[in-house]
């Protein structure tokens, strides 16, 4: 973490040590006097990671595609301009699938589904994981024991098995995937947040906050949590990527959304039997998955560099 006391600057000195790691997004600001924007500082450091910048641009493109799919895609995802599969051409950039749907359009609509699943599943995981981790790390004792053992038990069940069983009960749909991924993804976050809290609650500013009469919940969520968020933010970016990948895996296993939903994983699944006659049916959605997941992983990398200067130049 970043709470190491830095060496004392000389008396009356004003600037914080430029090398002194500070809070997330607020470290190393060396200009004094003017209100310094921690966002600008954050961006300055994020920008240094070129791959992360490219990934961010890619993500913006993906978001635009997802939001404006209706306007951008030449066809609707369930529209059948042809009746059979055709190779890529100027009319159908990525070709058409077995029943003649435009793959280019379906990949664009797929961005909507993948992003929705990835982001919503991650939001659910983060909310549950942060609260559970904060409570168990802060209070400790039997509360911690119960929550942590619960997490251990669920971590030891392969999430695919869990997902397939839940899908069997709830029926196959996008929302099932979101719920499955959301309720399995928080386990890891609970552990991350819990360990941060265990560390942070021993620090003096927590004791000071108690000594100044702050309530427990205020200390937990307003004082400790912001200090513990940094790994969570980095993890979340990566988690969105993993959730998209997991969605593809679930679709591929037949536990995800059903046709005609243009989920990328589902498209790969339907295309897998006909790799030889129509490789483009599998290729384009697969590439879309790879690019999207990679973008989120790289963004996670960039966030880590930007939020934690100490980690830079490692890895």
CB of 173 to other proteins, least distance (A): 40
What lies within 8 Å, CB to CB, of 142 at 6+ separation is none
Q: How far apart are CA 313 and CA 315, in angstroms?
A: 7
Residues in the interface with other proteins (CB under 8 A) total: 44
The footprint of other proteins on residues 185-204 (CB under 8 A) is: 203-204
- Residue 309 makes contact with other proteins by CB under 8 A: no
- Residue 233 makes contact with other proteins by CB under 8 A: no
Residue among 144 and 281 whose Cβ is closer to other proteins: 144
Q: Binding other proteins by CB under 8 A: which of 61, 157, 208, 258?
A: 208
**Other Cβ atoms within 10 Å of 8 Cβ, number:** 8
Q: Taking the mean position of all CA atoms in its chain, how far away is CA 60?
A: 15
- Residue 20 makes contact with other proteins by CB under 8 A: yes
Which residue stretch of 56-64, 214-222, 255-263, 295-303 sits at the interface with other proteins (rule: CB under 8 A)? 214-222
Q: Binding other proteins by CB under 8 A: which of 40, 47, 210, 258?
A: 210
Residue 175: name the closest of 275, 188, 183, 193 by CA: 183
- Residue 53 makes contact with other proteins by CB under 8 A: no
CB of 212 to other proteins, least distance (A): 4
Taking CA atoms, 302 is separated from 48, 57, 91, 118, 173, in Å, by: 8, 13, 38, 19, 33
- Residue 161 makes contact with other proteins by CB under 8 A: no
Taking CA atoms, 103 is separated from 40, 271, 307, in Å, by: 40, 11, 39
């Amino acid at each position: 973490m970043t709470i190491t006391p830095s060496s004392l600057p000389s008396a009356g000195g004003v600037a914080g040590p430029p090398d002194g790691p500070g809070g997330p997004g607020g470290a190393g600001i060396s200009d004094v006097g003017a209100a310094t924007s921690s966002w600008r500082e954050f961006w300055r450091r994020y920008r240094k990671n070129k791959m992360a910048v490219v990934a961010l641009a890619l993500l913006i493109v993906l978001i635009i595609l997802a939001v404006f799919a209706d306007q951008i895609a030449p066809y609707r995802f369930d529209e059948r301009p042809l009746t059979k599969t055709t190779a890529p051409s100027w009319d159908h950039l990525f070709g058409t699938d077995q029943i003649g749907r435009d793959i280019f359009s379906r990949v664009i609509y797929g961005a909507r589904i993948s992003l929705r699943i990835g982001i919503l599943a991650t939001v659910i995981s983060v909310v549950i994981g942060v609260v559970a981790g904060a409570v168990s790390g802060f209070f400790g004792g039997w509360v911690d024991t119960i929550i942590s053992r619960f997490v251990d038990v669920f971590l030891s069940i392969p999430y695919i098995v869990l997902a397939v069983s839940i899908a069997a009960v709830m029926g196959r749909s996008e929302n099932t995937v979101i719920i499955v991924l959301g309720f399995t993804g928080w386990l890891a976050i609970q552990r991350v947040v819990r360990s941060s809290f265990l560390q942070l609650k021993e620090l003096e500013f927590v004791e000071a906050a108690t000594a100044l009469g702050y309530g427990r919940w205020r200390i937990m969520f307003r004082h400790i949590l912001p200090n513990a968020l940094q790994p969570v933010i980095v993890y979340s970016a990566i988690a969105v990527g993993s959730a998209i990948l997991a969605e593809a895996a679930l679709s591929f296993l037949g536990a995800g959304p059903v046709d005609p939903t243009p989920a990328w994983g589902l498209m790969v699944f339907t295309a897998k039997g006909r790799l030889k006659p129509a490789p483009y049916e599998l290729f384009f959605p697969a590439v879309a998955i790879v690019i999207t997941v990679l973008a989120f992983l790289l963004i996670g990398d960039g966030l880590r560099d930007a939020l934690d200067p100490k980690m830079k130049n490692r890895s």
